[in-house]
Amino acid sequence: MHLSNNSILPVYLLVLAAVGVLVSDAYPPYLLVVPNGLFVRDQCGSIVVGLGHIDPLGGGLNNQFGLDFAAAGHAWTKELCEKDSDGDGRTNGDELGDPDCEWMLLGVPSRTESITNPGVNNNFPVICLF
Ligand SMILES: [Ca+2]
Ligand SMILES: [Ca+2]
């Protein structure tokens, strides 16, 4: 079944709102202000809730994407989108499904699949234990 961007918008917003409520006590709503922020998976397929942190579960030190996000005022800017924070050859926008840096808050990103972590260099092999 193929859904157009217009038909998945209500579902996308509902998911954003639901997850925002679930995580609001534990994490700032930063995952909501970057495209596909709630849907980033690590290389083993687990959801990354600590986007911007070295620890994928959040807290502690920031990775370079987190530092760049903070420098951008915790906002999705064109400069942040066009940057390759982790140096893996893909821009932050490309990794997060906004390769043309056109995403706007609460909008549907141009791509919602093949989302990768802009704070982790995806060129290094990993061993998945689970
Ligand atoms: Ca990158
Ligand atoms: Ca990456």
With respect to residue 120, please indicate whether it lies within any of the assigned structural domains: no
The ligand minimizing its distance to the Cα of 115 is 2
Positions in the chain whose pLDDT score sits under 50: 1, 3, 13-14, 17-18, 20-26
Q: Is the dihedral of CA 58, 99, 43, 6 positive or negative?
A: positive
Asked if 93 and 81 count as a contact pair (C-beta separation under 8 A), the reply is: yes
Full residue range of the structural domain in which residue 88 is found: 5-95
Return the pLDDT at 28: 58
Return the pLDDT at 66: 96
Total number of domains in the chain: 1
With respect to residue 17, please indicate whether it lies within any of the assigned structural domains: yes
With respect to residue 31, please indicate whether it lies within any of the assigned structural domains: yes
With respect to residue 118, please indicate whether it lies within any of the assigned structural domains: no
Return the pLDDT at 119: 97
Asked if 65 and 86 count as a contact pair (C-beta separation under 8 A), the reply is: yes
With respect to residue 122, please indicate whether it lies within any of the assigned structural domains: no
With respect to residue 62, please indicate whether it lies within any of the assigned structural domains: yes
With respect to residue 9, please indicate whether it lies within any of the assigned structural domains: yes
The ligand minimizing its distance to the Cα of 119 is 2
With respect to residue 128, please indicate whether it lies within any of the assigned structural domains: no
Q: What distance in angstroms lies between residue 117's CA and the mean position of ligand 2's atoms?
A: 5
